[in-house]
Structure 1
Amino acid sequence: MADMPPSRMSDRKRLAQVIAILGRHGLGGIVSALGSGRSQTNAHPTRPEALVEALRELGPVATKLGQILAMRSDLLGPDWTAALSQLHDRVPGVPFERVEAPLTHALGEDSGQYFRELDREPIAAGSIAQVHAGIRSDGVPVIVKIRRPGIESVVDADMRLLRRIARLAQRASPLVERQRPDELLRFFAESLDREMDLGAEARASAEIGSYLARFGIETAHFDNEVSGRSLNVQERVDAIPATDLATLRDAGVDFTSVARGYSRAVLSMIIFNGRFHADPHPGNVLIRPDGTLVFIDFGAVGTLLPERRDELVRLSLAIAGEDIDDLVDVLLQWAGNPAVDREALKASLNQLVGKFRNTLLDQIDLSGIFADVFDLLRTYQLALPGDLALMLRTLLTAEGFVRRLDPRFDITSELAPIGKQLLMERASLANLRGNARRTASTLIRALLGTPEIVENLASIARRGQLPIRLDPQDLARLERPSGAAPMRSSDLIAAALIVSAAILADLSIIAAIGCALAALTFFFLARRPRS
């Protein structure tokens, strides 16, 4: 049976609904900003709690946006993020009669043929989908997630409305423009689209689960034959919710061991796999009596691209080496290079880095560091890219989880072995060769992009001569300072060979190694005492 095509909701009708809901919750200032009603000079400041209540009533898009904003401590203060983090999209389920037809259509057969049993009352319901328990015809207990009927039209109308409001706000306020609402909405739209596609959860569970398996962590198995955009079916996991600490303790679960395995898996999943479970809170984790972890609900997934990881490594090296200028460069690059007081930002960062000088790794409070960093970002109005904000939020979620399991456990203690692995990976021959290839490619593009240089190269090829011009001032800089040791020709040769090795790495790794060995030979032979 085919679904009826979703009806398009009028933008004007939806805007009227939004204004009515906001006004009912005392958010007159926001109503005025939307162009309806008059702003009141004596209006009370907006309460975070009132906004949360309004977002919940506005529906799935507003609720999901609030959940995304709860992760943006770089944009909002702790009072707002704390209130928004309580925004759950648990709503009453719709009657089974309304989801029965979409369920049959998604299955491709009558539900009575696929299921031996299927509970008509949902065990959980959200703004996008609701969940039913059942038993498949082969006797396997399953969890069935079916999307709410008509949700597409509401989501589409709200997304159109959000984009219009963002454009108006961006034109009206330089402060809003600096926070790059278009980028935030693009990231939000991608996240919402993944959550609307229930089949994406099945694919993410399988993909990320294959990586987590090396840590002994399990994920739920989905029936891929029937799982799609509007439905997924997964096998029910027989394990204890991580929220039930009393039952876990009675079962003899070693909390410290679980915390260590969980934190190592989350950190490695982010840094090395690049695709990670973005919401690994206790409600999405099950634990078997033997301590085996099971990750469920892959509706929220994050991605850390290799170039972003390189930026994080650069940031870490800048902090470790107290290179504040490079630290400023990375943060401004992430924020879109806005106009800021660079010297003031350097001073603030130097003060922040100074707090952790001579501090042992296991004495570092990760949540305290993030709080200071987010406060600094808000002070200078530096917004992070959405993927980084999601990653940091995931790390904070993970730290809160392991501290709940074992208050004495410090997730930063797991950073040392992961850092060592990362350095070994970056120092590998394949990685160095790849860097040399990229460097050579960049240099060649720069050379070929300069017509004057190309003409000079052609002239040199025709004449067979290399014209060299030296400025007298440049020669003066090369003069040996008074009392300095004379420059050794062997040092110049060694330096030239090292440069040659870097260039040749892209063409012949054997030749590159030969040049590097020759450079070392020249260097040490020149310093060997003569008999």
Structure 2
Amino acid sequence: MFLTQTVPRQREIIEVVLRNGWDYMRRLLTGGKADEPQLPTPAVLKNILVDLGPVYVKLGQLLSTRPDLLSAGYIDELSTLQDEVPPVPWSEIEVLLRQQLKTPLEETFKTINPVAVAAGSIAQTHRATLADGREVALKVQRPGIDVTVAQDIALIQGIADLVARTDFGRNNEIKSIAEEFTKALEAELDFTREAEYTDQLRRNLSQGKWFDPQQIVVAEIYWELTTEKLMVMEWLEGVPLLTANLSNQNGKDPITERKAITSLLFRAFFQQLYIDGFFHADPHPGNVFYLQDGRVALLDCGMVGRLDPRTQQILTEMVLAIVDLDAQRCAQLTLQLADSSQPVILARLENDYDRMLRKYLNVNLSAINFSHVIYEILQVARNNKIRLPSNMGLYAKTLANLEGLARGFNPELNFIDEIQPLLTDLFRRQLVGENPLRSLLRTALDLKSLSLQSPRQIELLLDRVTSETLQWNLSLRGLDGVRRTMDDAANRLSFSILVGSLIMGAAIISNHAQTTQLSLLSNILFAAASLLGLWLIFSILRSGRLK
């Protein structure tokens, strides 16, 4: 047994596991012998996480962002997890509010609706009016949730320590995943961090590259009232996008409006992914609202992702390679994303991508589910034991949620038509940058530096060649086995020559032996040759390389 300080919770976990029929984890938790790990079916895994409570629901939501670890069936099932729970009574929320506010509750707010408009595992949201009349949303942390989270984090880390002892745990870096989850969960307990994410996203989208920034909204944060356990932000009046009735909006044509909103979403998220490198990572239908004035709002910025410029460039080229169904380029780009120290059979990777993409040769590009192709690419990488950065899963899930939302809102969506002009502009930006003149000047400076350094470097090279001091350092991988085999062969050949020499010497001495001493020497040489010969035969037989 492990983690004795949390035995009651451990018993509860074992009961849930037994009730849902996952025998492997039962043996692991109780210290029994557990052989090859067997994951439960996607539906059973989802039920286990739901029964274990809100923290484990969060774990399932994190795992749903890792298609590089789990197959599509698990990703689809875990993506449906929702952490909706009954709200905490207002009396407890009021106590926490008074503790967090610097001024009396009655002076800060004119009104507060005691009925929560939404409730999750970490927090619940109430609508309120500030003393100056502004409508706000109060995101309040559930009292005592920090203690519960600390206990469940300890249990998850204990389970990860056990699983890490198996080949399955080592191959999939279970401890790293557990560490990533605990950091993400601890970050969710600090609302100032989510507020910072919200502000950064708001600033980025206020400078639209491909869209009108006035048409997309991120709530304003009221920092003077925000703390680690309370976030106060602008109230946005609207409904989830998929439930919006566009026929009643300002006399606009519903079909045209749907196309415009779909384009707005794609352009806003492609800017986040491929230009800003900071993106809202959970654009599911409940987090994208259609406001009363016709604008679109992004809610709940607690889950975000980051992409560095190099990764952005590789992913941009990957999108083009997928559109072109270029298996070879997909393989090259995958290796650029991966840990370069891993040995990979490139030909096999290319064949796997070719087999995967061949399914789409005769399919109209507009009918291709792009996010599904991204998932398949991550699956191929996983099958080839290629370890990709964890943010690739978050990137893929964001695209999947975005495309699913867009297709649900606008069934006539043509994905290629939406992204083609954006890709063209992205490649132009990569070539010449935001400021073509600045890029030209930087290139001119690089050329000038190269022109000044080249003569000196060529002079040094020629000097080393003529003075015979030039050395080449070559490092060839995978030759250790060949070297050991050659050493063994050379040693056996030397022993064979030695044995033959001893036998020949003994025979010559024996043939011309005139004294007892020479006969004794001949017998000793024959005996030594026999022992060495037997030892050589035995070593060859033991190595199994007689043939």
1:344 corresponds to: 348
- Structure 1 regions of 5+ residues with no counterpart? 1-7, 443-455, 472-531
- Matched residues in 2 for 1:255 and 1:294: separation? 15
2:12 corresponds to: 17
Aligned counterparts, 1:94-493, within 5 A: 94-173=88-167, 175-213=168-206, 214=208, 215=212, 216-245=215-244, 247-251=245-249, 252=252, 253=254, 254-289=257-292, 291-313=294-316, 315=318, 327-332=330-335, 334-336=337-339, 337-355=341-359, 362=366, 364-428=368-432, 430=438, 466-469=463-466
- Matched residues in 2 for 1:346 and 1:66: separation? 32
Provide Cα deviations, 1:445-485, integer angstroms capped at 9, x if missing partner: xxxxxxxxxxx99x969xxx8353499xxxxxxxxxxxxxx
Query: Aligned in 2, Cα 1:415/1:12: closer, same or farther, shift over 3 Å?
Result: same
Query: Aligned in 2, Cα 1:282/1:44: closer, same or farther, shift over 3 Å?
Result: closer
- Matched residues in 2 for 1:205 and 1:408: separation? 31
Deviation of the 1:282 alpha carbon: 1.9
SS at match of 1:53: helix
SS at match of 1:243: helix
- Matched residues in 1 for 2:387 and 2:25: separation? 22
- Matched residues in 1 for 2:292 and 2:269: separation? 21
Provide Cα deviations, 1:192-241, integer angstroms capped at 9, x if missing partner: 23322222222222211122233331111221111121001122112232
Query: Aligned in 2, Cα 1:104/1:468: closer, same or farther, shift over 3 Å?
Result: same
SS at match of 1:297: coil
Deviation of the 1:301 alpha carbon: 1.1
- Matched residues in 2 for 1:75 and 1:385: separation? 11
Provide Cα deviations, 1:485-517, integer angstroms capped at 9, x if missing partner: xxxxxxxxxxxxxxxxxxxxxxxxxxxxxxxxx
- Matched residues in 2 for 1:206 and 1:413: separation? 31
Letter of the aligned partner of 2:104 in structure 1? D
8 A contact 2:259–2:410 mirrored in 1: yes
1:446 corresponds to: none
Provide Cα deviations, 1:274-324, integer angstroms capped at 9, x if missing partner: 111111122111213553211111111111111221332454576688875
8 A contact 1:179–1:381 mirrored in 2: no
Letter of the aligned partner of 1:310 in structure 2? Q
8 A contact 1:361–1:413 mirrored in 2: no
SS at match of 2:111: strand
- Matched residues in 2 for 1:210 and 1:378: separation? 36
8 A contact 1:248–1:289 mirrored in 2: no
2:69 to 53, 72, 75: 75
1:474 corresponds to: none
Provide Cα deviations, 1:225-258, integer angstroms capped at 9, x if missing partner: 111210011221122321314x333335511111
8 A contact 1:9–1:154 mirrored in 2: no
Letter of the aligned partner of 2:430 in structure 1? R
Provide Cα deviations, 1:20-65, integer angstroms capped at 9, x if missing partner: 3323333332121223467799x99834333222212323331111
SS at match of 1:206: helix
2:42 corresponds to: 48
8 A contact 1:286–1:293 mirrored in 2: yes
8 A contact 1:276–1:303 mirrored in 2: yes
Query: Aligned in 2, Cα 1:154/1:438: closer, same or farther, shift over 3 Å?
Result: farther
- Matched residues in 2 for 1:154 and 1:433: separation? 57
Provide Cα deviations, 1:321-372, integer angstroms capped at 9, x if missing partner: 8875664354245453544544322211233344556977545431442343
Query: Aligned in 2, Cα 1:316/1:405: closer, same or farther, shift over 3 Å?
Result: closer
- Matched residues in 1 for 2:424 and 2:333: separation? 23
Query: Aligned in 2, Cα 1:331/1:185: closer, same or farther, shift over 3 Å?
Result: farther
Bigger Rg, which one: 2
Aligned counterparts, 1:25-36, within 5 A: 25-36=20-31
Provide TM-score, normalisation by structure 2. Answer: 0.72
8 A contact 2:236–2:291 mirrored in 1: no
Provide TM-score, normalisation by structure 1. Answer: 0.74
8 A contact 2:371–2:396 mirrored in 1: no
- Tell me the number of residue pairs that the alignment of Structure 1 and Structure 2 aligns: 447
Provide Cα deviations, 1:417-447, integer angstroms capped at 9, x if missing partner: 22222222222255577789999999xxxxx
1:481 corresponds to: none
8 A contact 2:273–2:312 mirrored in 1: no
Q: How much is the aligned-residue C-alpha RMSD, in angstroms?
A: 3.7
- Matched residues in 2 for 1:389 and 1:440: separation? 42
Deviation of the 1:407 alpha carbon: 0.9
SS at match of 1:143: strand
Deviation of the 1:96 alpha carbon: 2.1
Provide Cα deviations, 1:74-124, integer angstroms capped at 9, x if missing partner: 322233222212211111122222232221121123322212222223222
- Matched residues in 2 for 1:34 and 1:111: separation? 47
- Structure 2 regions of 5+ residues with no counterpart? 451-455, 469-547
- Matched residues in 1 for 2:71 and 2:177: separation? 17
Letter of the aligned partner of 2:463 in structure 1? L
Query: Aligned in 2, Cα 1:437/1:295: closer, same or farther, shift over 3 Å?
Result: farther
Letter of the aligned partner of 1:184 in structure 2? I
